[in-house]
Structure 1
Amino acid sequence: MDYQNRAGSKKGSGGIASSSQENLHRRKQVEDLLKDGEEVPYSFQGISKEDEELSKKNPYIYKNHAGRLVCKLCNTIHMSWTSVERHLEGKKHGLNLIRRGGTTSSQQQDAVSPEELKFKKTVEQLRSQIKDNGIVPNYQVAKVRDPTTNSRGIAMRVIYTNPEPSEDGGDRPYVRIMSSLEFTREESDKKYLIIAFEPFKAIAIEIPNEEILTNSAAFNTSGAKSVDDFNSKFTYWDEDNQTLYVQFFFKD
Structure 2
Amino acid sequence: MTDRQNRPGQKTGSGAPMTAQEAAMDRRERLRRLAMETVDLSKDPYLLRNHLGTYECKLCLTLHTNEGSYLAHTQGKKHQVNLARRAAKDAMVGVPAPIPGEGDGPYGAQGLHKKSVAPRIGRPGYRVTKQRDPMTYQKSLLFEVDYPEIDTKVTTTPLYRIMSCYEQRVEEPNRDYQYLLIAAEPYETISFKIPNLDIDRNPEKLYQRWDPITKHYMLQLCFNERGEKQLPALAGKAGHFDPIGVRG
Q: Sort the TM-score into its range (normalised by shorter chain).
A: 0.3 to 0.5
Query: Which of the pair is proportionally richer in helix?
Result: 1
Query: Under a length normalisation based on structure 1, what TM-score does the superposition of the two structures give?
Result: 0.43
Mark the structure with the bigger radius of gyration.
1
* TM-score computed with the length of structure 2 as normaliser: 0.44
